[in-house]
């Protein structure tokens, strides 16, 4: 679980460093496209009953 969370945090950091002048809407789009997928993939491991 820690590895998946670390990977998602790294990708979010890359987005923040790469795109310095970005509005909330664009950051949300990039976050959902790149970071959310990693977290969603690991969700059954965190909570297998749901």
pLDDT of residue 44: 63
Q: Report the mean per-residue pLDDT for the chain.
A: 79
- The residue among 42 and 28 whose pLDDT is bigger is 28
Domain total in the chain: 1
Q: Judge whether 16 and 8 are in contact, CB under 8 Å.
A: no
- Mean pLDDT on 4-30: 85
pLDDT of residue 42: 61
Range of the domain at 31: 2-46
In our burial notation (b when 16+ CB lie closer than 10 A, e otherwise), range 26-36 reads: eeeebbeeebe
For the cut 70, the answer to whether the pLDDT of residue 49 exceeds it is no
Q: Judge whether 1 and 42 are in contact, CB under 8 Å.
A: yes
- Mean pLDDT on 27-50: 73
């Amino acid at each position: 679980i820690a590895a998946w969370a670390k990977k998602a945090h790294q990708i979010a950091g890359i987005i923040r460093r790469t795109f310095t002048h970005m509005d909330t809407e664009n950051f949300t789009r990039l976050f959902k496209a790149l970071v959310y997928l990693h977290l969603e993939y690991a969700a059954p491991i965190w909570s297998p009953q749901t």
